[in-house]
Amino acid sequence: MGLPKEELQPQKLTFQEYINLERENNQKYEYHDGFVIAMAGGTINHSRIGKNVVSEIDAILKKQGDKCEVFNSDTKLAFQDKKKYLYLSFPTLDIEIPFTDIYRKVEF
């Protein structure tokens, strides 16, 4: 029987420590009320696909005269309580469907 393994306890960081960690390591991290989670890196093909998706959606919105903006996964969001800083989970697509359309498709 081996020696008991030490349990690793997550360590809370201040917001400034989080910012310093991200700058020093040249990596993306999310911040959840003091706890930091490393984000996975992407591949070249992942980046190409993301670029193409953002470009296409942006072109469609501009054609329609929409004032919406499209962002990629390098965009960090700060929540109002300043306890959470996250990168966009790309791709994110919000589609509004009128309730009447959903109702028509449901069979009882």
* pLDDT score at 88: 74
* pLDDT score at 12: 92
Arithmetic mean of pLDDT over the chain: 77
Query: What's the number of domains the chain is made of?
Result: 1
Q: Looking at residues 63-70, what average pLDDT do you find?
A: 80
What is the distance between the alpha carbons of residues 54 and 74, in angstroms, rounded to a whole number? Answer: 12
Domain that holds residue 94: 15-105
What is the distance between the alpha carbons of residues 84 and 78, in angstroms, rounded to a whole number? Answer: 6
Question: Which H or E element spans position 53?
Answer: helix 44-63
Q: Residue 25 domain-assigned?
A: yes
Residue 92 is encoded by which pair of tokens? 């994110």
Per-residue confidence band for 64, with pLDDT thresholds at 50, 70 and 90: confident
Q: Residue 38 domain-assigned?
A: yes
In 3D space, the residue among 29, 34, 38 whose CA is nearest the CA of residue 15 turns out to be 34
Q: Residue 88 domain-assigned?
A: yes
Of residues 98 and 85, which shows the higher confidence score?
A: 85
Residue 25 is encoded by which pair of tokens? 């390591």
* pLDDT score at 97: 55
Q: Residue 69 domain-assigned?
A: yes
